Each structure stands twice: as structure tokens, then as C-alpha cells.
Structure 1
């Protein structure tokens, strides 16, 4: 890091702007900051630290301490500007602490917030802004410098005894700082890596020893108590010589196991030879027994097969007769179907004849058909009379409809007359509702204009009352601050006077034999003054001065706070009086006024909300009045039309009644007479159809009998009944075929097994 230029304004002891050109100072390599106490040497270092980190070193950054110069005019702001090169970048940082400044309007001071600005230099663009954030600027500079404020003050600045504190620090604290300054992390990393490798190697050796011991234990368990004479190694993992001891013990165990293995191999070979011979003998005996059992089983199956031969022959004969009877089955089914059809036709004929009159029950088909045609012609002649009867019934329905419509129109006319009679009263009431709602809307607008100012005055009165207490508290604080300031000034002046009285002793303490006096210039000091009782030194006076300045600043802040509170109280008082400048009212009076206006406004707004419904009700009533007038006129017109329609219906119904009376005869109506004829025609038609169906079914039954007799003779049966008794279903035939096939398959299998030579020879040998 290299400093180029420092500019301080109203900072510390510097009341005006001072600049330090570090480039000119460092042109010879080194430069020295030298001057008497209070000349501002430490303040230059404080300014550099404040520009970099926004704070000054050590106790000078204690709470309540001010960085602003007491010698600066009020309108000159405190500011520090530092131009430097760090991390290969040329930067300019400007900082201003939190400080009071005169108000732009009115008297007094206001507190200005702390500000920071950072600029960077680019050969192409020149100076350009980088950031105005305290946090961003602090992080950027700390990262580029590589040290915090405390580390920078300890290592770089080392002002006024801080170097001694660094030397007295413990080794760990100095190690952390120096390690960061000189980057000793690589040595620590190498040391940590070597330790990690050592720990890894130890873990691998211990794990390998544990595996070797585990293998030795497993070997001893496998060898058994008589396997190895020497005991396995009992050393712990990680001890030297463990692997060699395990290898020696394993060699003894291996040789013993090999001897036991050779002996076991010889015994095993002999036992396997004896086992193979015994197995061959056993297999030969088992094969002989199997062949003997197989031949004996074959003989038993042959005897059982011969016993079932008669059953097999009967099943085969029955199956052949059933297959011949299958050729007669279609004729049998046809005969049964013809018989069922004939019985159904006979039953239908009986039912049809039972519905006829006694003189027609034995009539033939031709007679029945002739009567059907006669009644059908008479039924056709009744169609016109039936239509006339239906029309007459329709006229009765129309007359009833006209009567219902007449009653409805009468009721409508009565309702319309009653409603129209009250129309004037209804319209007047609705118009009065509309007028009242409009008047309420006007009143609501006027009250709304009064309610908002009343509420603002009420809020201002509340603020005024609260700020009055704040004014009294601020006045009390100002009185206390003034008293403290007077006490501090009196104490400082007293200490200053006492110090001036003893200034000779203070100057004498700095005399050195043989060196000239700073006051008289003499190298001889025959009678230096000595401090008397109650002597005050420079530090005590400076602390008293600092206390006096702190009290003065507290008094100024109390005055500023009182001025601000009084301004807010006066503004609230003015707003509470209102625009017309009336006398200020209490908050309770303003609250009552606002509540009364709010209640009146709510009531007027509620009444005004009914304006649109009242207008809609008036418009709806006017529309209903016009509709009722129109409905009454239309009802009168419909009544006239219905009178003419009734006369026409009466004349038409009289003509139709004459035609109906001539056509219905003795029946109650034409429809009843036509229904009777329709039923008679249907019964005659059913009877004629039943006669024809019965004759056709008899003919088909005779043909089926002839075909059945011919089919039974061709199939070899004496009668159709014998063929029917021999019939079997598909399931029965399959059952017989399965039994025949099973007997034949068993016979073939027995013949094959009796032809086996090895089984026959084995049967001749002993069991």
C-alpha cells in the first residue's frame, strides 16, 4: 500500500483544510513526523485510519468522542480525503463523520449522517465513482489491505505505546497476526499434511495387524485342539515383530495340517473303493427285483383285462346300435315337432271357437270369413260418425276453455280497476321519496366537507397535547444541561487557574542538567520549582476541558431538541385552530364536534343511498300503470271475441248430434258401437285363422309319420319306437367310446409287456 495525498478539513485540531503530499515527502525514501505535543502528529495518523476504516485507533474512538474540530466554523463540514494505491489499484476514499450542521431554514442545528465515497482511477476514463455504501467500501478496502482496523493499528501505525502492547501480547496472538502478515499458512499446511500421513500410516499398520491376528485365530479354530501344538500369537496390534511371530506359528500349523491331510486322503481312497463295489451290488439286486415286480404286475393286469372282456363287448355293441339310431334321430325330431304344432293348433282353435256365439261354433272357415267381411264393411261406414262424435267432444272442451278464459279476464279487469283507482296516491308518495333522497344527498355532501377538517383538527389537538408534555420535558432537560455546562466550565476554569499557578513546577520537571531552559535559555538550574499541594497536571486539565466541551455539546443538543419540539407543537396548535383561525379548542370538544358531524353525515348518507331505489320504484310504478291500462283494454276485446265463438260452436254441435244419433243405434255412443263391431270382426278372423292352422298341422303330422317309418326301416329297426329307445346323447356315446378305447389300450400295453424278454427271464430266477 502506498499513500499519495491526504486532505483533512475541520478534523481534530485542524480548524481549516490541511493537505499532506506523501509523494513529495517519500521522494527521498523516508520521512519523519516531528513536532511538540498537541501539534497534530497523531491526528494525521488518525485521519489516515479514519479514511481507510471509518474509525480512529484506540480509545479515541470511545462513545461520545467527537472527531470534529472545535476551532472550525459551524458552516465548514468535517471531511477526510485520502488518495492511495493498494492491490495494484489507485483509489480515492472520502469520509465525513456524523456531525451537527446549521439548519437551512430557521435557527438551530440538525444532525448530518455520516457519509462515505469511493472513487477509482482508470487511465482511459479517469476518476469514476465506485460506491457510496459504508459496508461495501469497508469490505473492499479491508480485502485489498488484508488487515482489520485493529491489526492495521498494531502493525502499521503503532501510535503512542501500542507497539509495547503488541510486544507484551502472548505468542498465540502475535502468531496469528504475523502469520497473516507473512503468510505462514504453507508451513502449517505441510506440518498438518505430514501429521495426517503419519496418522494414516499408523491406522493402516494397526488394521493390517488386526487382520493378521484374525487370520491366525481362524486358522487355530480350523485346526482344532489337536491340530497345532504351539499356541497362536497373543501380541497386540501395532507391536513390533507381530507379523514374524505369526508367520513362524503358521509354518508349524501348515506342516502339521499337511501330514494329517495325506493320512486322510489314503483312508478316503480305500473307503471310496469299498463304497463303489457295494453300490454296484445294490443296483444289480434292485434291478432284478424291479423286473420281477414288473412281470408279476403284467400277469395281474392280463387277468383283470380278461375279466372285463364281456363288459367291453356289450359296450361296443351298444355303441354301434346308438350310432345306427342317430340316422333316425332327425325324423324323430321332425315327428315330435309336428305333434307339438298340431296340439298347439287344436288348442288355439278351441279357444277361438269358445269366443263365438253358439250358432257359429261349428261353422267352417268359409262361413267365418264371409261374416268377417260383412261386419268389416259395417265398421268402415262408422268412421265418419266416429269423427263427428270426437269433434262434438272437442267442442265441449273448447266451450270449457272459453269459460276459463272469461273468468280470468273478469278477474284481471277487476284487479286493474282497483289498482288504477289508487294510482294518484301511489305516484305522489313515490315522488316525495325521490325528493327526500335528493335533499339528503345534498346535505351529505355539505357535511362531508365539514367532517374532514374537523377530524384533522382533532388529530392536531391530540398531537398538540402530546407535544406539550414533550416541550416541558425538553425544557427540563435543557435546564439540567445548562446547569451541568456551568458546573463543568467552573470546574475547568478552576483547574486551569490552579495549573497556571503551578506551571513553574511543571516546566521544572522537564529541565535537564546542562541543557538550556525552554523559558530563559540558561543551562544552569539553581532552584527549580517543585509542585505544591493540589497541583494540577496537563492531563487533568484536558479531561476537565473535554468534560466541559461534552457538557456544552449536550446543552446544544438539548437546545436543538427543544427547538424541534416547539416547532412541532406550534404547527399542531395552528392546525388545531383550523383554517378560519378560531380559538383553540380542547380535544374533548373537537371529539364531540367530529362525532356529531359523523353521525349527521352517516344519517344523510343512508337517506341519500335510497335515491336510485326510489327513482326505480317510481319508474316501475309508471310502467305498471301503462301495462294495466293496456291489459284491461285487451281483456275487453277478448270478451267480445269469445261471445261470437260460443254462438258458432253451438250451431256446429247441433248439426253433429243429428249425425251421431243416427249412427250409434242402441249403443250409448258411436265409439262404443264401433268397438263392439271391432271385437266381433277380430273374433271371426281369429277363428278362421285357427281352422286353417289346425288343418295344416294335421297334414304335416301325417307327413312326419311316413318319413319316420321309412327311416327306421332303413336303419334296421322294426319300429320307430325301437329306434327311439336305442338313442343315446353325445355324452353317453363319448362315455361308451372312452370305455372301449381304455380296454383296447390296456390290452395293447399288456401284450407289449408280456413280450419283454428280460422281465420274463428275471421271473424265472429266485426272488
Structure 2
């Protein structure tokens, strides 16, 4: 991958458009990127990373809005354009972060512009750029695939942040593992560890669950066995113990044997109790039978005595039955005479009633005379039918004329109401139209106010943000000033301590001399006059503490500067959106607009109702006109119809006056005549019935007297008194039959010999036998209950034993699987005793990568240190590491002393070139790991100020040697000596309107 050019617009400290020509800078192979602190050296590297991956490195990463320059005009958008060649393809990547821009047209305020990206490829044949994509995701995937590294790997391999590698040298195994894991993507090995750990936990849970189920079955077995297992101790193993299953099965078998023995004993007890119960039941039955026979004989004697006392009553029943049977022969004649008497009395009552309704002249008339008078009246009725029809027609005409009068009055009222309503129509229509026009005007005003309301609210919100951000910006400026002062003081103290330490470095070296050992400087074994530390000597620890304090102070200053830049950017946006008006003025204006808008909107809401009211009024106007016209037409038609009805009514009145006579109407006369005819017909019929029933009664009296004499009765009344109905006959016969049946039954029971013999025996006592049987039954139930309980206990124990055996068989493979998975998980996690160095699987893989990195770094470190230092990988656990796992140790071998020591013991300058060598070695290994992508452009950020001249020359020679592989290396530093040693430079200059770049070729 080779960078060609970088175009920056409104990015970071660069307010105007700046171009970095990497082709010109790379022509010399080694170039310097320098400038004062805060000018924007690191921002150039941020722009490269942002162009490739859409975000800036590490801790500098933030939202897109923070990338915008404070010096850029509002109309200029932040943009980064990077041209590069990767994978044999020349590409151009353009990115714009999310940012605020002024609203278009005459509108005031700002809107948020979304982040945008473009990817283009140069076509050498046509000499033109071809657009490839505008999708953030597609461009990110394409760049990652071509470069072969993600953002974290790119920042570690291409940008080479020295501070990170210095920390890497001093870090422990865990910290090194995190960094290497990100660069070499060993997540799959960590996933294997986690997967094995999950499998181990799952298998362990399954085994413990199985053991818990076995123990639960043992507990249930103890409950089911009861006293059968009281003498045998329960299993003492806990869940997870290997021998738990065997102990549970053995204990269950012993409990089951004791339960079977108790069941057999209970069976013999049941058999004995059943025998005693049968004997007691037979004794009770014998006593009950003796008592029954004795009571039966006594009852028979009582019934015989009762029959003797009722014999006279029986003889009376027989005599009464004989008289009733003789009276039954007279019963038909009695029934005929009673029926004739009832008919005659009914006919006599009807005859008297009809006579009372006849005129005095006809009260004694015969049936024939009454019938003749009825015939003459009915002839007169036949002549009244035509007159009745004429009278009904006359009534219909009168009703019709009344209806015409009502219709006429209703139409007159309708016409008058319509005339009154139509007289007011013009004013009503005018009111509706004015209501609609008022609603239309309110709708127009509401729309105008609504368009003003949202901008007013936006300005109010912006003013509130503006005031709040102004206060925050003032505080941030004060914090930045204090942080800058603190950083400057810390830097001066560090540089002062460094100069003082370098002045007394001879004393520090002399402190390490020992007689007989070679001097590290001159190699002599004798030390006649070693230097002594003077007053105020500064050691290495004090210098490192001062340097660390300066680093922390500078980081605080950078954070304060970033916070102030962000606040000022937001404040400018809020100031542009809100203007100069105060929050109170803007709030009052927004409230006034809201009130006016609510009033206008409410009035505009009446539009629909006003139009509907006008439509209803116009419909009512049309209906009123039609009603008035129809009423006039109906009035004309009624006049002619009324005249025809009057003529017909006059003709009918003359005829009806003649026919009805003295009656009020023809219908009244018709009803009077019909009533007279019906009265005469009924009277004639009652006379005939009275005469016929009198003759039948006389004949029935003669027949009854003859029948009573023949039956042996003196008078017919005697026969009637002796007569019984069917119920009386059945009741009398039932009494006689019951007495005779009782007499036969008593005679039969007196002939029973067993009852007589039982009566001669002593009195029976079944209660005593009942008590004995109850005792025997209780004993039998207790024995049966004990046997059933023992049998159920045996069945339950057998069932639980089968469940325990099945659970033990199922648990066997699970326990074997758990042991196998636990061994693998412990081995990969570094906790197993088989893993002597306690190395995790991921650490083991990373250790191999670290060994490659150390070998690649040693090639350059050996040259930088003039053959003194070599980086080696160590998989030993450090002293005092406790339970920490080994595998990621990094040591340095000092050829001067022949000793191997930890990299954290290196001095400041040694740490720099060691970390530089480590960064270059790591770049080579990661490049090979990423698929062999060639990296033609590298950047090294800071750290050269800690080197002396000789070491600096060695480092420059190593970096310059990278050109042998056709690489270009950019050094980011503000060290003045580098400007003399490196001729090709890119200078970042601070200016009032933003930083600018200058090429020195």
C-alpha cells in the first residue's frame, strides 16, 4: 500500500484546504513531519485513518462533528480525500463526517449534514476516475479487504504509535495478550476455551443434577421404607462423589428386603383375623334368626286375638254388601228418572225466563202463534238491507268531507309557514356565507402563523443552548489555561531533571561498577577513581516520574483543548441559529405566536361545519318552495271533489228519512226488529221443550216404582238409600277381603313348627354377638390395613429402585463425558496440572506470534543498539506471579553483561529504540499474517527526543535502510536535530486562520 496524496478541507486545525503530496515526500524514502505542539502533526495521520476507515485512531475517536475545524467558514464542509495504490489498484477515497451546515436559500439557522463517503478507481486506459460506491459499509469492507487489516491493526502497523509500544514493553502478560489478540485476531482460540468451559459447566450441571435426582430418590426411598430401613444408615456421599450411585443402589436393596419381610408377616396376621371374623359373623346370624322366629310367633298370636274381636263388624259388612247388590238392579231406573227430572226443571226455568221478556199480550201464547209472529218480523228485516247500505255510504261521505277540511287547514298552515321562512332566506344565506369567509381567513392566518412558529421555537432552543454553552466555554477556557500552565511547568521540570541527570550520568554508571568486573563503557576491570554523585543528583526514577507527570499534564491539556474546541463549535452553531436576541424575548415571541396560532386554528376548524350549515339551508329553501307549490295544487283538486260529495249526500238524506221512521237511524231500526225476531223464536222453542220434558218425567216415575217393588224395596227411596257407587263397592269388598286374608294368614302361621319351637327357647341376645363381631372386624381391618401398607411400601420401593437403577445407568455416560470435557477445559484454560506452565490456549497461540515478533524486532534492535540488545520471548512464569499464567513474557538479553532481564528495566532511550524495533517487527509479522499486503508507507510518531546523537544516528540508519524494500517512512517529531539530518520535510505551521502545510523537498 502506497499513499499518493491527501487533501484536507476544514479538518481539525486546518481551516482552509491543504494538500499533502506523499509522492514528493516519499521520493527520498525518509521524510520528517514536524511543527510546533498543537499545529496538527497527528491530525494528518488522523485524516489518513479517517479516509480509510471512517474514524480516527484510538482515544482520539469521536463523533464526526468534533472533526470539523473551528477556523472553517460556515459554508465550507469538512472533507478528506486520499489517493492511494493498494493491491495494484489506484483508488481515491472521499469522506465527509456528519456536520452542521447553513440552511439553503433565505432560511436562517443550521441543519445537520449526514456523513457521506465516495470510492473511485483510476482507469489507466481511459485516464479517468470511475465511481465505485457511495455506501459506508461497502467502502469499509472493500478497504479492509484490500489493505488486509482492520483499523486497530492499521493504526499499530502503519502509524506506529511509540507510546503504545513503550507501554507494551513494560506491560504484563495480560496487557500484552489483549493487544496481540486484537492484532492477530485470536478470537477463535478464545472461543474454543469458552466453548470447552461452557461444555464443562453444562456437563457438571448435568452430573450434579443426576446426583441430586439420585439423592432425591434415596430420600423418597427412606420415606417409602419407613421403619423397614431404620436400622441401616443412609448414604453419606454428596453430589459429584463418584461412589454415590453404588451407595444409593445398595441402601435401596437393603430397605426393599426389610419391607418384603414385614409384608409376609402382615399377610399371616390378615389370615388369622379373617378366620376370627367369620366365626363371629356366624354367631351373630344365629342370634338374629332366633330373635326373628320368636318375634314372628308373638306377632301371630296378637293378630289372631285381633280377628276374634272384629267378627261382628265383618258380619255387618256382609249384610250391607247384600243390600247394595239388590239396589244395583234398581239403579238404571233411578238414573232415567233423575235425568228426566233435571231436564224438566231446566226447561221450566227457561220457559219462565222467556215469558218474562214477551209483551203481556203474548205471555200465554202457544208455540205456533209465537212462530207466526217471528216470520212476519223477519220479512220486514229483509226490506231494510238497501237502506242500511245507503246509510253507511252517507257516513263515509261525511268522514271524507271532514278529511278534506283537515287537509285544507294543513295546507294553509304549510303555505303560511313556507312564506314566512322564505321571507328571511336572503339574510340567512348572507350569514352562512359570512361564516365561511371568516373560517377561510382564519385558516390562511393559521398556516402563516404555523410557518413562523417552528423557526421561533428553534431559535428559542438555540438561544438556550447558546447561553448554556457560553458559560461552559468560559469554564473550559479557564480549565485549558490552567492545564496549559501545568503542562508547561511539568515539561520544564522534566527537562531540567533530565539535563541534571545527564550531567551526573557518570556517577550513576560508577555506582554499578564492581572490582574485577568489566566497565560497561571502557571495558576496564580496575576502577581507580569512580565518579561520585554530587549534591542534588537526579536518578533515573526521579526523571521517569517527572516525565510521567508531564505526560499526564499534557494529556489533561489535550483533553481540555478538545473539550473547548467542541464547545466553541457547538456555541458557534447555536449563535448562528439563535442570533442576538435574548431568551426572554424569543420566548415571549414564541408564546405570542402560539396563542395567535391556537386562536386562528380554532376558528379555521369551523369551516366544515359552516359549509354543511349552508348546504342544509339551501336544501331547506328548495324543499319549502316545493311544499308551497304542491299545497296549491292539492287545494284546487279538493274543491271539485267536495262539490260532488255534497250532491250525493243530499240524495241519500231524503231516502233515509223515509225508511228509518221513528228510529234514530236505519241501523238502529234493523237491530230492534232483529232482536224481536230472536226473542219470539227462543220463546217458541222453550214452550215446546217444557211440554216434552213434563211427559218424559211422568213416564220415568212409573218405571222406577215397578223396579223397586221387584227388587224387594218398599219405596223407590229405600232403593236409592241402599245404592252404593263404585268406590263404595270397592271399599266394602276390600274390607271383607282383608279380614278373610288376615284370617287365612294367621291360621297358616299358627301351623309353623319352627316358630313355636323358638318361642319355647330362652330369649335371643343379638347385641352381644354384634359387639363380638365388631371387635373381630376391627382387628381384621387393622391387619388388612397393615398388610396393604406393607404391600404398597414394597411396590413403591420396587418402583423407586427401578428409577434409581435407570438414573444410575443414564448418569454413567454423563459422568464419563464430564471427566473428559473437564480435562480438556482445564488444559486449554491453563488450570490443569497437566499444563505445567499454566498457559491458556489463546496465550499459547499468541506466544508463537510474540516469538515471531521478537525475532523480527531483534534484527533491527541489534543494529540500533550496536549489537548489544536482543529481544527474546519467554514462556516462564515470573517470580511472585502467583497464579498468573505464563506464555507472553518478553525479555531483553544484554550482550555486555550476558544476562537476560525484563524489558521494563530499559532506560528511556533504550525503551524508545526497543519499542521502535518492536513496532517495525510487529508490522512485518502482522503484514504477513494479513496476507502479505505490501506496506510502502509507514509513519513513526514521536519519541526521538530521548535519544543521544549516536543512538539517533543508528536509528536513522535503520529507518533509512527500509528504503531498500522500496518503503517510505515518515517521522512525526518536533526534535530540532532531525531537521538537519532529514532533508525532505512536511512542516505544519500554526496560523491565525488555521494551520497550513509546507513541503520542503
- TM range, smaller chain: 0.5 to 0.7
Counterpart in 1 of 2:914? none
Counterpart in 2 of 1:594? 590
Counterpart in 2 of 1:49? 177
Counterpart in 2 of 1:141? 190
Q: 2:655 aligns with which of 638, 642, 659?
A: 659
Q: Deviations over 1:172-213 (max 9, x none)?
A: xxxxxxxxxxxxxxxx9899556999999999999x99xxxx
Go from structure 1 to structure 2 and tell me whether the alpha carbon gap of 1:627 and 1:302 turns closer, same or farther (over 3 Å shift).
closer
Superposed counterparts of 1:466-505, under 5 Å? 466-505=468-507
Contact 2:168-2:176 within 8 A present in 1 as well: no
Go from structure 1 to structure 2 and tell me whether the alpha carbon gap of 1:294 and 1:412 turns closer, same or farther (over 3 Å shift).
closer
Alpha-carbon shift at residue 530 of structure 1 (Å): 4.5
Hey, what's the Cα distance between the residues in 2 that align with 1:680 and 1:428?
A: 78
Hey, what's the Cα distance between the residues in 1 that align with 2:650 and 2:289?
A: 122
Contact 1:52-1:141 within 8 A present in 2 as well: no
Contact 1:298-1:754 within 8 A present in 2 as well: yes
Alpha-carbon shift at residue 729 of structure 1 (Å): 3.8
Counterpart in 1 of 2:375? 373
Alpha-carbon shift at residue 679 of structure 1 (Å): 1.9
Q: Deviations over 1:267-302 (max 9, x none)?
A: xxxxxxxxxxxxxxxxxxx99999999999978866
Q: 1:694 aligns with which of 690, 697, 710?
A: 690
Q: 2:464 aligns with which of 459, 462, 465?
A: 462
Superposed counterparts of 1:327-726, under 5 Å? 328-329=330-331, 331-532=333-534, 534-577=536-579, 584-698=580-694, 700-702=696-698, 704-705=700-701, 708=704, 712=708, 717=713, 719-726=715-722
Hey, what's the Cα distance between the residues in 2 that align with 1:729 and 1:461?
A: 121
Alpha-carbon shift at residue 144 of structure 1 (Å): 1.0
Go from structure 1 to structure 2 and tell me whether the alpha carbon gap of 1:424 and 1:742 turns closer, same or farther (over 3 Å shift).
closer
Alpha-carbon shift at residue 762 of structure 1 (Å): 11
Superposed counterparts of 1:15-414, under 5 Å? 41-43=169-171, 45=173, 48-51=176-179, 81-82=183-184, 141=190, 144=193, 192=241, 305-326=307-328, 328-329=330-331, 331-414=333-416
Structure ID, larger Rg: 1
Go from structure 1 to structure 2 and tell me whether the alpha carbon gap of 1:685 and 1:486 turns closer, same or farther (over 3 Å shift).
farther
Contact 2:381-2:670 within 8 A present in 1 as well: yes
Which sits farther off after the overlay, 549-558 or 695-704? 695-704
Alpha-carbon shift at residue 661 of structure 1 (Å): 0.6
Hey, what's the Cα distance between the residues in 1 that align with 2:670 and 2:474?
A: 120
Go from structure 1 to structure 2 and tell me whether the alpha carbon gap of 1:488 and 1:713 turns closer, same or farther (over 3 Å shift).
farther
Question: Where does structure 2 lack aligned partners over 5 or more consecutive residues?
Answer: 1-164, 198-236, 259-287, 762-1001
Hey, what's the Cα distance between the residues in 1 that align with 2:721 and 2:572?
A: 135
Alpha-carbon shift at residue 722 of structure 1 (Å): 2.6
Alpha-carbon shift at residue 590 of structure 1 (Å): 2.0
Hey, what's the Cα distance between the residues in 2 that align with 1:378 and 1:623?
A: 65
Look up the SS of the partner of 2:184 in the other structure: strand
How many residue pairs are counted as aligned between the two chains? 532
Go from structure 1 to structure 2 and tell me whether the alpha carbon gap of 1:457 and 1:374 turns closer, same or farther (over 3 Å shift).
same
Look up the SS of the partner of 1:406 in the other structure: helix
Contact 2:333-2:700 within 8 A present in 1 as well: yes
Alpha-carbon shift at residue 730 of structure 1 (Å): 4.0
Superposed counterparts of 1:744-759, under 5 Å? 744-752=740-748
Counterpart in 2 of 1:108? none
TM-score (structure 2 length as normaliser):
0.47
Go from structure 1 to structure 2 and tell me whether the alpha carbon gap of 1:45 and 1:726 turns closer, same or farther (over 3 Å shift).
same
Contact 2:510-2:532 within 8 A present in 1 as well: yes
Go from structure 1 to structure 2 and tell me whether the alpha carbon gap of 1:292 and 1:532 turns closer, same or farther (over 3 Å shift).
closer
Contact 2:168-2:175 within 8 A present in 1 as well: no
Go from structure 1 to structure 2 and tell me whether the alpha carbon gap of 1:702 and 1:48 turns closer, same or farther (over 3 Å shift).
farther
Look up the SS of the partner of 1:515 in the other structure: coil
Go from structure 1 to structure 2 and tell me whether the alpha carbon gap of 1:430 and 1:744 turns closer, same or farther (over 3 Å shift).
closer
Q: Deviations over 1:490-541 (max 9, x none)?
A: 3323333343344333323332332211122211123334545554432332
Look up the SS of the partner of 2:523 in the other structure: coil
Go from structure 1 to structure 2 and tell me whether the alpha carbon gap of 1:200 and 1:422 turns closer, same or farther (over 3 Å shift).
closer
Hey, what's the Cα distance between the residues in 1 that align with 2:745 and 2:528?
A: 160
Hey, what's the Cα distance between the residues in 1 that align with 2:292 and 2:244?
A: 82
Which sits farther off after the overlay, 301-310 or 515-524? 301-310
Question: Where does structure 1 lack aligned partners over 5 or more consecutive residues?
Answer: 1-36, 55-80, 85-137, 149-187, 210-285, 578-583
Q: Deviations over 1:598-637 (max 9, x none)?
A: 3333333333333333333333333322322222222222
Hey, what's the Cα distance between the residues in 2 that align with 1:294 and 1:458?
A: 118
Contact 2:469-2:571 within 8 A present in 1 as well: yes
Alpha-carbon shift at residue 146 of structure 1 (Å): 8.8
Go from structure 1 to structure 2 and tell me whether the alpha carbon gap of 1:189 and 1:690 turns closer, same or farther (over 3 Å shift).
closer
Go from structure 1 to structure 2 and tell me whether the alpha carbon gap of 1:681 and 1:202 turns closer, same or farther (over 3 Å shift).
closer
Hey, what's the Cα distance between the residues in 2 that align with 1:750 and 1:328?
A: 39
Hey, what's the Cα distance between the residues in 2 that align with 1:297 and 1:191?
A: 84
Hey, what's the Cα distance between the residues in 1 that align with 2:503 and 2:383?
A: 163
Go from structure 1 to structure 2 and tell me whether the alpha carbon gap of 1:408 and 1:505 turns closer, same or farther (over 3 Å shift).
same
Contact 2:238-2:244 within 8 A present in 1 as well: no
Go from structure 1 to structure 2 and tell me whether the alpha carbon gap of 1:485 and 1:331 turns closer, same or farther (over 3 Å shift).
farther
CA root-mean-square deviation: 4.5
Hey, what's the Cα distance between the residues in 2 that align with 1:690 and 1:742?
A: 54
Q: Deviations over 1:308-333 (max 9, x none)?
A: 33322221221233244345445534
Hey, what's the Cα distance between the residues in 1 that align with 2:546 and 2:323?
A: 150
Q: Deviations over 1:189-248 (max 9, x none)?
A: 899556999999999999x99xxxxxxxxxxxxxxxxxxxxxxxxxxxxxxxxxxxxxxx
Q: Deviations over 1:93-122 (max 9, x none)?
A: xxxxxxxxxxxxxxxxxxxxxxxxxxxxxx
Q: Deviations over 1:333-359 (max 9, x none)?
A: 444333223222221221122111111
Go from structure 1 to structure 2 and tell me whether the alpha carbon gap of 1:526 and 1:316 turns closer, same or farther (over 3 Å shift).
farther
Contact 1:48-1:82 within 8 A present in 2 as well: no
Hey, what's the Cα distance between the residues in 2 that align with 1:409 and 1:344?
A: 66
Go from structure 1 to structure 2 and tell me whether the alpha carbon gap of 1:147 and 1:343 turns closer, same or farther (over 3 Å shift).
closer
Alpha-carbon shift at residue 401 of structure 1 (Å): 2.1
Counterpart in 1 of 2:22? none
Contact 1:386-1:671 within 8 A present in 2 as well: yes
Alpha-carbon shift at residue 462 of structure 1 (Å): 2.0
